[in-house]
Structure 1
Amino acid sequence: MDTNTTAVLILVGSFAVMLICRFPIAFAIGISSVLTTMFLGLPLMQIAQLMVKGVNVFTLMAVPFFIIAGELMGAGGISKRLIALSDALVGWVRGGLAMVNIVASLFFGGISGSSTADTASLGTILIPMMRDQGYDDEFSTNVTMCSSVEGLLLPPSHNMVMYAMVAGSVSVGRLFLGGILPGLILGFALMIYSYVLSVKRNYPKGDAFSLRHALLTLKDAIWGLITVLIVVFGVVSGVFTATESAAIAVVWAMIVSAFVYKELTLRKMWRLIERSLGTLAIVMILISTSQVFGWLLTYLRLPEMVASGILGLTDNKIVIMMILNLLMLFLGTIMDMSAIILVATPILLPIAIECGMDPVHFGVVMILNLGIGLITPPVGGTLFVGSAVSGVPIEKLIKTLLPFLAVMVIVLIIITYVPGLIMFLPNLFLPVIG
């Protein structure tokens, strides 16, 4: 066995063993990288240099700002107003609270960019409300968890910023635009399934639609929604970079939360900063260690080996894209989303490009794949949060979750094989010149 093959086995094998042993993902990546570097006889100082290089990226500065903005809007009373707005818009249909849940996730997820934050924030409010009105606990929890994935696709999504950084010359603005239609399609598909189930189970509906009430709730919620508009239109118009728009969004969110809604106290602010720093620390450690891991993958030519292996199986682009989806779905069930973006993108993106997929198209497909993984055992972070918020054991949730997962997979297949659904808005507003 040659040196490169042995090194690959050490890198991938030690990483897999540590995952099975429940090591924190950042430590698993870092330790496996150190072991492989020592085996290859490379200087350990190179690891430190690569880790610093991994986080010394201007675009990456947008991530902490987006995390803080999402926390600010969640702690500043925006959740209640978004729920009220959603109720005014769709609460009148059969299974109205399920529709409210899905639409509220479209709004709140677009602000937080986090599936787990969406589930934790909206779930603590909506799941008890749905329970009181006669909805099954499992149904209420599954709707909350599945609709939270919409926020990963809708701007601003810090996961898309991370993908853009790893993928190289990919516009964050084009990624943001590319996620809008798939996010809306996912929400619409979940609403259709929830409505069918609500009719079948005779779930209740809310008061009749009132235009006046809808306008009043919109007036109250508009200040929070402007945060999203700042980011999207700022980046798309070219007035701000992604980092600048994220920083402005933080300032705006703080003003709205403290002085308009007047729900952001000093105590809440301190807790918010603690949570944000905790999340940011995990993300930055992952990025720095993944830089070393990714460099070793390239040094050992593993991406080329994987690409050759997959392309050697078939030259059918439809089959190759299906294989890529299966790989990402599998990884999403066993690894953290950020880690997969950082480690798998350098391996899978070249294969996707070889199949004719635009990097923006592949990025959105990857985000949805990994979003489905967040609500799939054994590692699914959003699944654990949903179970904790509702008090329903995971084993009880899984059986009723399967039809929701089927709906999400159908949406995934559609956006994979109909790239125009992703590329329409980027090509319309931010066309690539030349």
Structure 2
Amino acid sequence: MSLTAITLFFLLLLTGAPVAIALGLGSALALWWFDMPLAVMAQRIVNSLDSTTLLAVPMFIFAAALFNVTGLTTQLFDFIRMVIGRIRGGLGYVTVLTHLVFSGVSGAALADIGALGRIQIDMMREQGYKDNFSAGICMAAATLGPIFPPSIPLVIFAMAAEVSPVKVLIAGIFPALIIALFLMGMVWWVGRRAGLPRDDISVTRGEFTSRLWFAMPALMAPVVLIGGILLGWFGETEAAAVTVVYALAAGLFFYRALTWRGFVEALRETVRSTAGVMLIVGAAALFAWVLTIDQVPTKAADLLLGLSKDPWVLLVIVNLLLLVIGMILETIAAILILTPIIVPALVAAGVDPVHLGVVVVLNLMIGLLTPPVGMSLYMVSTVSGMPVERVIRAALPWIGCLLLSLAAVTFLPAASTWLPNLMLK
């Protein structure tokens, strides 16, 4: 039955069907073909969505949408630009740091590109940066969103792997900083070779103080969120609720820019994004259950352990597998399908599941920059007006940079496990 479901899934993908439809319809047809009761479909989908952990997803999406409509992203970009923009290639560093800070409220790569991409690319065009550099750094920096907490993909992984969501979220802090350092190193290298421009921004002490004041809510948002998690004041779901309250308070009382119209638009964006995520979650859970009936996860674990019991060898194999899967499968669907398959084998070999979660998500984030399903490519093409073919060429050097950071995160497990083990003994 699982072979039938997998075959139907890929056939539907080849016809251009959305991933959720291909997963759900492929599973349904396989169940029907083997005379399984179709009522089980509704049961499995509802059970997969009946999760307290998943409540964090719409709230993180809502918080990011509120920050967008109140103009917080612009304030954040302007302040960081003012601080470091005047060094060579300054807007490249500004892009990386802005995504790092904004990822503390968004939790998703495409949300970061949608909120910041047009601002960054237009500014770099004005100052003489080549479009290939602007598009490439924008896509690469957006991978920080799903690694640095709050991360929607890490929350989904924790649910699928049945590990602590709080530990997995905290595990993303140092790997995100490692990725940011690699990206800024790439900016420095390109700046030295290509002579990137310097920002022409000039500010007085009064302007600096004013912009710092207006950027403070954005700068403090990750501190409030991560600090609360580290101190044990709230878990992942409560953290999402706190982020929403924080965004509402900043928009209403600090910026005084949150209008009723903006609030409704944020709600609409949240509903649209959440509906898409939950449809994929439900369909992928059904597909994973079909695979479980035929004991595919157990057989896959035996196969992997038969290849090697060395955790480093297995991590390399899983990295290669995920890099390929990331090219053809949507992130959340890939996490829900592959996590039950790879986690048992690697945990049995001695790999920490928290470390594995960061490795899995980073692999799939690199997949956002690779065709044919790389969603970051199409998002940047939309916000920049560049043809997709040109955006793909622009992504290639940055994919190499991200692969180096993936190697560092993979072979330095302490970067992922030290902080959660310290804080959550």
State the TM-score, normalizing by the size of structure 1.
0.93
Asked whether the 8 Å contact 1:33–1:293 carries over to 2, the reply is yes
1:101-120 mapped onto 2 (5 Å cutoff): 101-120=95-114
Q: Which of residues 352, 362, 369 is equivalent to 1:368?
A: 362
Structure 2 counterpart of 1:200: 193
One-letter amino acid of the counterpart of residue 286, structure 2: V
CA distance in 1, matches of 2:218, 2:397: 33
> Which structure 1 segments of 5+ residues have no match?
1-6
SS in 1 for 2:145: helix
Q: Which of residues 335, 341, 350 is equivalent to 1:356?
A: 350
- Give CA deviations for 1:193-248 in whole Å, capped at 9, x if unaligned: 11111122212223589888666533322213333233222222222222122112
Structure 2 counterpart of 1:4: none
Structure 1 counterpart of 2:4: 10
Deviation at residue 92 of structure 1 after TM alignment? 2.5
Q: Which of residues 390, 401, 410 is equivalent to 2:395?
A: 401
Structure 2 counterpart of 1:125: 119
One-letter amino acid of the counterpart of residue 189, structure 2: V
Structure 2 counterpart of 1:325: 319
Structure 2 counterpart of 1:312: 306
Q: How many residues align?
A: 424
Asked whether the 8 Å contact 2:369–2:392 carries over to 1, the reply is no
One-letter amino acid of the counterpart of residue 245, structure 1: A
Structure 2 counterpart of 1:247: 241
Deviation at residue 64 of structure 1 after TM alignment? 0.7
Structure 2 counterpart of 1:38: 32
CA distance in 2, matches of 1:210, 1:406: 39
Structure 2 counterpart of 1:54: 48
Structure 2 counterpart of 1:297: 291
Asked whether the 8 Å contact 1:329–1:369 carries over to 2, the reply is yes
CA distance in 2, matches of 1:245, 1:154: 14
Q: Which moved more, 1:185-194 or 1:262-271?
A: 262-271
1:22-171 mapped onto 2 (5 Å cutoff): 22-168=16-162, 170-171=163-164
Quick check: 1:228 aligned with 2:222? yes
Deviation at residue 344 of structure 1 after TM alignment? 1.1
Q: Which moved more, 1:81-90 or 1:55-64?
A: 81-90
Q: Which of residues 192, 210, 213 is equivalent to 1:219?
A: 213
Asked whether the 8 Å contact 2:296–2:341 carries over to 1, the reply is yes
Q: Which moved more, 1:221-230 or 1:135-144?
A: 221-230
- Give CA deviations for 1:405-426 in whole Å, capped at 9, x if unaligned: 1110011011111101111111
Deviation at residue 403 of structure 1 after TM alignment? 1.6
Q: Which of residues 151, 161, 177 is equivalent to 1:184?
A: 177
SS in 2 for 1:152: coil
SS in 1 for 2:27: helix
Asked whether the 8 Å contact 1:127–1:137 carries over to 2, the reply is yes
Deviation at residue 118 of structure 1 after TM alignment? 0.9
One-letter amino acid of the counterpart of residue 241, structure 2: A
CA distance in 1, matches of 2:322, 2:178: 20
SS in 2 for 1:43: coil
Q: Which moved more, 1:94-103 or 1:395-404?
A: 395-404
CA distance in 2, matches of 1:84, 1:400: 25
- Give CA deviations for 1:371-403 in whole Å, capped at 9, x if unaligned: 111111111111101011111112122223212
Q: In the superposition, relative to structure 1, how do residues 400 and 124 fare at CA in structure 2: closer, same or farther (>3 Å)?
A: closer
Structure 2 counterpart of 1:3: none
One-letter amino acid of the counterpart of residue 423, structure 1: T
Structure 2 counterpart of 1:21: 15
Asked whether the 8 Å contact 1:173–1:232 carries over to 2, the reply is no
Deviation at residue 342 of structure 1 after TM alignment? 1.2
One-letter amino acid of the counterpart of residue 177, structure 2: L
CA distance in 1, matches of 2:386, 2:89: 20
Q: In the superposition, relative to structure 1, how do residues 214 and 327 fare at CA in structure 2: closer, same or farther (>3 Å)?
A: farther
Q: Which moved more, 1:377-386 or 1:83-92?
A: 83-92
Asked whether the 8 Å contact 2:311–2:351 carries over to 1, the reply is no
- Please provide the CA RMSD for this pair: 1.8
SS in 2 for 1:160: helix
Spell out structure 1 runs of 4+ moving beyond 4 A: 207-216
CA distance in 1, matches of 2:157, 2:10: 23
CA distance in 2, matches of 1:230, 1:131: 34
Q: Which moved more, 1:53-62 or 1:210-219?
A: 210-219
Deviation at residue 181 of structure 1 after TM alignment? 0.8
One-letter amino acid of the counterpart of residue 306, structure 2: G
1:354-433 mapped onto 2 (5 Å cutoff): 354-431=348-425
Q: In the superposition, relative to structure 1, how do residues 48 and 124 fare at CA in structure 2: closer, same or farther (>3 Å)?
A: same
Q: Which moved more, 1:210-219 or 1:29-38?
A: 210-219
- Give CA deviations for 1:316-359 in whole Å, capped at 9, x if unaligned: 43222111011111111111111111111111111221231111
Structure 2 counterpart of 1:173: 166
Asked whether the 8 Å contact 1:154–1:176 carries over to 2, the reply is yes
One-letter amino acid of the counterpart of residue 320, structure 2: L
Asked whether the 8 Å contact 2:149–2:226 carries over to 1, the reply is yes
Asked whether the 8 Å contact 1:138–1:392 carries over to 2, the reply is no
